[in-house]
C-alpha cells in the first residue's frame, strides 16, 4: 500500500531520517516504536505526503508519490483517517463539526446525518453526544485526543494512521482506545499504522512492529518475535518502554 525506500530527511545539520525502508501492506496492524525525537512523527508525515523527503522515494499503491496527479492524491486521502500527535482540531468549529469535517465537505451528506455520524463516533470513544456542541478549547487534553480519534474514524477509513493515540490518557481510557483500534482493524478489516511509546498497548494492537533508531528501521517483524529480536537497540527500547507503561 505504502512503501518507503531509502527515505532521508534533515533539518540543517540535524539528520533525522537517514535511510528509512518500510512498507505498510494491506491488512497490516503495524506499530512503529522508537525513542522520543527519533523521527517517528516525521516518518509518518513522509508516508502521507505532508513532508517531502530529501532523498529516497515514497510509493503509494506502486506509484511514485511525486508523480501522482492531484486527483489520485485526493483519492488516496479519502481512504485514510489520521490522528495527529497534538490533536490538530479546528478551534473555531464545535467538536461535532470537527469530527464530521470530511462528511460535511461531501455534498452527499446532509448536516443532520453528519451530526448523527459524529455522535456515533463520540460514543465509540466513550464521550457523550453533548460534547459535540463544545469547542475544542473547552475540553481537557485527553478529551481532545479522543475527539481527534473520533475524527480519524469518521469516514470508516481503509487505513488508520494514529500518532500517539493514548499519550496522556489514563489506563482505563487507554484500554478503551486500544479496544476501539482492535475493533476497527479486526472487524472492519482496516489497515493501521500506529506510533506509540506504550509497549503494553503496542503488543495488543499490532501484528507487526518496526523500530526506528538513529534514522533507520533497525528491526521489522512479527510482534510475536519482538521480545526475541536479538537486537540490542530493540531490547533496550522495548524494556524501557514496558517499564514506563507498567
Ligand X SMILES: Nc1ncnc2c1ncn2[C@@H]1O[C@H](COP(=O)(O)OP(=O)(O)O)[C@@H](O)[C@H]1O
Q: Is 197 an interacting residue with respect to Mg ion (CB under 5 A)?
A: no
Grid coordinates representing 89 are 482540531
Give yes or no for a contact between 142 and 131, defined as CB atoms under 8 angstroms apart: no
Among 29, 38, 41, 191, the residue binding Mg ion under the rule CB under 5 A is 41
Residues 49-88 that bind Mg ion (CB under 5 A): 85
User: Could you tell me how far CA 188 lies from the centroid of its own chain?
Assistant: 17
The binder of 27, among ligand X, Mg ion, none, by C-beta within 5 to 8 A per type, is none
11 binds, among ligand X, Mg ion, none (CB under 5 to 8 A by kind): ligand X
Rule CB under 6 A: which residues touch ligand X?
11, 16, 34, 36-42
- Name the residue nearer to ligand X (CB basis): 96 or 237: 237
User: What does 42 bind: ligand X, Mg ion, none (CB cut-off 5 to 8 Å by kind)?
Assistant: ligand X
Helix (H, G, I), strand (E, B) or coil at 73: helix
- Of 36 and 69, which has the nearer Cβ to ligand X? 36
> Measured from the CB of residue 31, what is the shortest distance to ligand X in angstroms?
13
Q: How far is the CB of 50 from ligand X (least distance, A)?
A: 10
Residue 53 binds which of Mg ion, ligand X, none (CB < 5-8 A, kind-dependent):
none
Distance CA 97, CA 120 (A): 13
For Mg ion, the closer CB: 40 or 208: 40
Strand 29-34 and strand 63-64: the pairing is unpaired
Closest by CA position to 236, among listed 97, 21, 34: 34
Tell me the H-state helices in 38-170: 40-47, 70-78, 95-99, 101-105, 111-124, 141-152
Q: Is 36 helix (H, G, I), strand (E, B) or coil?
A: coil
Task: Say how far apart CA 144 and CA 88 lie, in whole Å.
Answer: 9
Nearer to Mg ion, 33 or 65 (CB): 33
Residue in the block written with cell 469547542: 135
Per CB under 5 A, the segment of 36-44, 60-68, 124-132, 146-154 that binds Mg ion is 36-44
- Residues within the interface to Mg ion (CB under 5 A): 40-41, 85
Amino acid at each position: 500500500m505504502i512503501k518507503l525506500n531509502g527515505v532521508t530527511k534533515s533539518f540543517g545539520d540535524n539528520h533525522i531520517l537517514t535511510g528509512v525502508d518500510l512498507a505498510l501492506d494491506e491488512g497490516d496492524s503495524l506499530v512503529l516504536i522508537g525513542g522520543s525525537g527519533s523521527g517517528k512523527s516525521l516518518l509518518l508525515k513522509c508516508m502521507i505526503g505532508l513532508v517531502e523527503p530529501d532523498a529516497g522515494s515514497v510509493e503509494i499503491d506502486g506509484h511514485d508519490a511525486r508523480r501522482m496527479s492531484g486527483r489520485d492524491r485526493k483519492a488516496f486521502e479519502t481512504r485514510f483517517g489520521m490522528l495527529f500527535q497534538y490533536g490538530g482540531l479546528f478551534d473555531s468549529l464545535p467538536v461535532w463539526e470537527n469530527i464530521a469535517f470530511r462528511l460535511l465537505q461531501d455534498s452527499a451528506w446532509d448536516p443532520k446525518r453528519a451530526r448523527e455520524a459524529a455522535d456515533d463516533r463520540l460514543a465509540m470513544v466513550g464521550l457523550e453526544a453533548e460534547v459535540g456542541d463544545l469547542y475544542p478549547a473547552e475540553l481537557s487534553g485527553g478529551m481532545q485526543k479522543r475527539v481527534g480519534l473520533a475524527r480519524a474514524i469518521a469516514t470508516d477509513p481503509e487505513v488508520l494512521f494514529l500518532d500517539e493515540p493514548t499519550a496522556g490518557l489514563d489506563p482505563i481510557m487507554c484500554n478503551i482506545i486500544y479496544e476501539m483500534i482492535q475493533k476497527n482493524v479486526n472487524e472492519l478489516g482496516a489497515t493501521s499504522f500506529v506510533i506509540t511509546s506504550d509497549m503494553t498497548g503496542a503488543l495488543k494492537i499490532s501484528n507487526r512492529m518496526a523500530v526506528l533508531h538513529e534514522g533507520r528501521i533497525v528491526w521489522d517483524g512479527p510482534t510475536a518475535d519482538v521480545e526475541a529480536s536479538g537486537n540490542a537497540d530493540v531490547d533496550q527500547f522495548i524494556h524501557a518502554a514496558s517499564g514506563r507503561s507498567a
